[in-house]
A and B are shown apart, each in its own frame.
Chain A
Amino acid sequence: DTAVSQTPKYLVTQMGNDKSIKCEQNLGHDTMYWYKQDSKKFLKIMFSYNNKELIINETVPNRFSPKSPDKAHLNLHINSLELGDSAVYFCASSQRWGPDTGELFFGEGSRLTVL
């Protein structure tokens, strides 16, 4: 049983298109995250939700819009895709959020290629 699952695993699309990546966790965690990993493997946090409430929103273009319909799901919608959006996007979850934020459980990643 996969703890954090994200779909699709691969996404190849043209510039200007809109795409979505879905994420689900079955761990009963309160907090979910989206991270972006670039070609140099640098991981940057994009968004975080705690109990469906947005708590971290980094300097991300407003073409990126997260949506958390419930605690177990955090989706990422990207409008007007650009070449620079090509990356691997990771969803993650943690049991709680706060000074004692513990380990994050990561999905396997969604590799987005914009042509």
Chain B
Amino acid sequence: SQQGEEDPQALSIQEGENATMNCSYKTSINNLQWYRQNSGRGLVHLILIRSNEREKHSGRLRVTLDTSKKSSSLLITASRAADTASYFCATVSGSNYKLTFGKGTLLTVNP
């Protein structure tokens, strides 16, 4: 069963703008991760945030986690055309510590 739901499904912005993607999940988690997938390629890990953390930064990426609302957001600042990709949140949860992916947000950054 699906755990994460990203919002919006698609996002189109201009280069230099910020992009925010949201993820909601249903059950308690051990950690939440964000991945990027370029068209026709495999997924690449971006950032991991543990259930006891609230915010994390990595370069132009900022991730927040609100366990009371079961939601997370990924902010990409000063976007570039090369950021065009699908972005997925994924949660580690359950007794078998399964990593379950959401449906993804397709981000298009126009030059």
Interface residues of B (CB under 8 A from A): 2, 30-31, 33, 35, 37, 40-45, 48, 86, 88, 92, 96-101, 103-104
Q: Are A103 and B45 in contact (CB under 8 A)?
A: yes
Chain B interface: which of A14-22, A36-44, A65-73, A75-83?
A: A36-44
- Beyond A92-B43, A102-B48, 16 additional contacts (C-beta under 8 Å) are A40-B103, A41-B37, A41-B103, A42-B103, A42-B104, A43-B88, A45-B98, A48-B96, A55-B96, A98-B97, A101-B92, A101-B99, A103-B48, A105-B45, A106-B44, A108-B42
Q: How large is the interface on A (under 10, 10 to 19, 20 to 34, 35 or more residues)?
A: 20 to 34
Interface residues of A (CB under 8 A from B): 4, 33, 35, 40-45, 48, 55-56, 90, 92, 94, 97-109
Q: Are A99 and B97 in contact (CB under 8 A)?
A: yes
The 9 sampled A-B contact pairs (Cβ below 8 Å) are A4-B42, A41-B104, A43-B43, A44-B101, A56-B98, A92-B43, A98-B97, A103-B48, A104-B43
Please report whether the interface of chain B is mostly helix, strand, loop or mixed according to DSSP: strand
Within the complex, which residue of B43, B92, B104 is in contact with A99, where a contact is CB–CB below 8 Å? B92
Residues of chain B lying within 8 A (CB to CB) of residue A40: 103
Q: Are B100 and A45 in contact (CB under 8 A)?
A: yes
Q: Are B41 and A108 in contact (CB under 8 A)?
A: yes
B10 CB, nearest partner CB in chain A, Å: 11
A10 CB, nearest partner CB in chain B, Å: 11
Residues of chain A lying within 8 A (CB to CB) of residue B37: 41
